[in-house]
Structure 1
Amino acid sequence: MGQHITSLPALACFRFAAELESFSKAADRLNLTHGAVSRAVRLLEDDLGTPLFERRNRAVFLTDAGRRLAQVVARGLGEIEDEVQRIKEKHANAPITVSCEPTLMMRWLIPRMPQFHAAHPAAEVRLLAGGGPVTFGSGIDLAIRRNDFTWPDTYFSQHLFDEQIGPVCRPDMAAVFFGADRIHMNAKLLHTRTRPSAWTTWAEIIGDTHRSGNGQDFEHFYFSLQAAVAGLGVAIGPWQLVQNDIRDGLLVAPQGFHEDGSAYFLLSARELQSGSVSEMFGDWLRAVLCDESTPPNVEAQDDRRK
């Protein structure tokens, strides 16, 4: 075993003191005091048993031994810093897996992913369908979830958008299913097992009486929305899930949209590392949501309720 040499912080102090030939300038570079740098250099000199600087008239000058050591230290610490940076960059650019609720992923996220890849061609994002509670460290890096369950306080969460819902149907069926200010009693209501209280929530929002008859149940939200596109009935459509269909003329929302009190969040095990693919994805996600249009008729609906 070789003899232990002083600590890396002392070598770092010596490195900058040697490069600048000034303890004061080295202290400024390292955000330390002049005394701290002077003591670190003195510790290194005591370990080596020889002076590394000549001290004359408040100035310092490298000795021959100091000059030789400075070259080795600068090269060694420089290689360490380069390798640390390479490790950081490799980790930051590592592929990430994003878990997202299936219907949101299918109808909103996937159609927008080409925008992310165009902006970040070197970043790799893998999408995984999933809902409800999520455990990180099991192959999942980020999760997009509606706050209809409680996640651990230790999770880092970022608000994405407030949920806004409204009844939707095929445009040519609007006159059949909707009257002046409410849904016709004979309109078929499309339900989904993944959000069974959707129609009850809508009735509470608009102050109407909920009716459960004359309907059809579907296993997932996506199927109920597709049934609405097909003209089978009226579905509750969250804005993020139906805005593309409304824009393309496949669906209409005669009664507009209202917030239902829930919201979506981006979850992670800890705060996103600066420069990482996770941070890029989170920043892009919020920017896309900020740029997108708001639901139609929301203000008019709110005015009618006042």
Structure 2
Amino acid sequence: MLSDNHCEPDSPLNQTRLPSLLALRCFEAAARLENFSHAGVELHLTPGAVSRAVRLLENELGVALFERRSRRVFLTDAGRVLARATGDGFGLISRAINELRANAARKRSWVLSCEPTLLMRWLIPRWPDFQARHPQIDVQLVAGGGPFTFNGTIDLAIRRDDFPWPDSYHAEPLFAEKIGLVCRPDKVAQWFAGQPAGAVLRPDAPPLHSRTRPQAWQEWAGATGMALPEAAGQYFEHFYFSLQAAVAGLGVAIGPWHLVRDDLHSGVLSAPLGFVEDGSGYCLLSPAALPAASPQAHLLAWLRSMS
């Protein structure tokens, strides 16, 4: 007595059962490449394993699929019929899988880490534009500065190139850093001397410092060749606070162009001496090169358009 897992050779159940998927894959590759060895390389199998799988398929179907002559194989008429069917079938499966993977990639939430002040004063105010242009791309913004690792927590990072990162990271330049002195417009005459074309910072102007970017004033002096103010000034814990102190009229701050451009356009701040490049720049960092037309590539293009 046979179990439910078996059936007689000519039963309807046996006629509708498909051969093993591995055997069909071996046959499809061998038929397409007309070579068992090449099929084995593609499928990571030995030529003998491919040959045995095809032989079992032939035995199950009761027809010869290949003619074997002098280490070469040629499709029979039956083999050509099955080759067309398996080629179409596996092609359809492959296209469906690629589409599912692409949809999953589009729907995935990407985490972008950005230096806090840049995130607050430049990226977030412009973020509605990115969402309007790319509503299908879900990006979560998080604040972070300095060294980091791609350990599954973040996918991309915007950083200023003032620290070394691993050679394995892929860096896409975004924009050069340009810095200048900024203060409230009603304080310009008090803290700066001369006409706009030849204006200079007065020695008694109160400088505003940040503990997170302690060399900012020295970098400005080195880039412009101008003298540092003589006053000690005030220190703030974070770069953002020094800029807010400038808005409040407490003194003169070092203002990177991208961090103060909105305040300059609205008239909240003034930059009497303009801006100069300090030799540094911002980059979009990723674990590997960004695939063309990927969500990350669209984000890169948008970031560059906003700079």
TM-score normalised by structure 1 residue count: 0.76
CA contact (8 A) 1:168 1:251 kept: yes
Structure 1 residues 153-164: aligned runs within 5 Å = 153-164=167-178
* Aligned position for 1:222: 240
- Check whether the contact 2:182–2:253 (CA below 8 A) recurs between aligned residues: yes
Farther off after superposition, 277-286 or 156-165: 277-286
1:173 aligns with 2:190: no
Q: In the alignment, residue 77 of structure 2 is paired with which amino acid?
A: T
* Residue aligning to 2:252: 234
The offset of 1:51, in angstroms, is: 4.0
2:264 aligned residue: 246
Q: Which runs of 5+ in 1 are unaligned?
A: 16-36, 54-59, 290-306
* Contact persistence 1:93–1:277 (CA under 8 A): no
Q: Can you list the C-alpha shifts for 1:92-144, whole angstroms capped at 9, x where unaligned?
A: 43110011000000000001111110110011111110100010023100000
Tell me if the contact between 2:203 and 2:230 (Cα under 8 Å) persists in the aligned partners: no
Distance 1:74 1:206 in 2: 67
Specify the SS of the correspondent of 1:151.
coil
CA distance change for structure 1 residues 236 and 14 in 2, over 3 Å: closer, same or farther? same
| Residue 11 (str. 1) matches residue 11 (str. 2) | no
Q: Is the 8 A contact 1:145 1:267 kept in 2?
A: yes
**Deviation at 1:6?**
7.0
Deviations 1:212-262 (Å, cap 9, x if unpaired)?
A: 534111111111111111111110100000001101111111001011111
SS for the counterpart of 1:162 is strand
Q: Which residue of 2 aligns with 1:111?
A: 125
Distance apart, 1:197 and its partner CA? 1.1
Q: Is the 8 A contact 1:97 1:141 kept in 2?
A: yes
Instruction: Tell me what 1:78 maps to.
Output: 92
Q: 1:62 to 1:70 in 2, by over 3 A?
A: farther
Find out whether 1:183 has 2:201 as its counterpart.
yes
Q: Post-superposition shift, 1:286?
A: 1.3
Instruction: Decide whether aligned partners of structure 1 residues 71 and 3 sit closer, same or farther in structure 2, where only a CA change above 3 A counts.
Output: closer
Tell me the residue number matched to 1:148. 162
- Determine what percentage of the aligned residue pairs are the same residue: 43
CA distance in 1, matches of 2:202, 2:38: 89
Q: How far apart, CA to CA, are the structure 2 residues paired with 1:283 and 1:95? A: 18
Give the number of aligned pairs: 261
Higher gyration radius (CA): 2
Q: Is the 8 A contact 2:179 2:277 kept in 1?
A: yes
Displacement of 1:42 = 11
- CA distance 1:2–1:159, shift in 2 (3 Å): closer
Name the TM-score, length of structure 2 as normaliser. Answer: 0.76
Residue by residue over 1:178-199, the C-alpha shift from the partner in whole angstroms, topping out at 9 and shown as x without a partner, is 1012112222111111111111
Structure 2: which 5+ runs fail to align? 1-18, 40-49, 68-73
Give the superposed CA RMSD.
Answer: 2.9
Q: Which amino acid aligns with 2:285?
A: L
SS in 2 for 1:5: helix
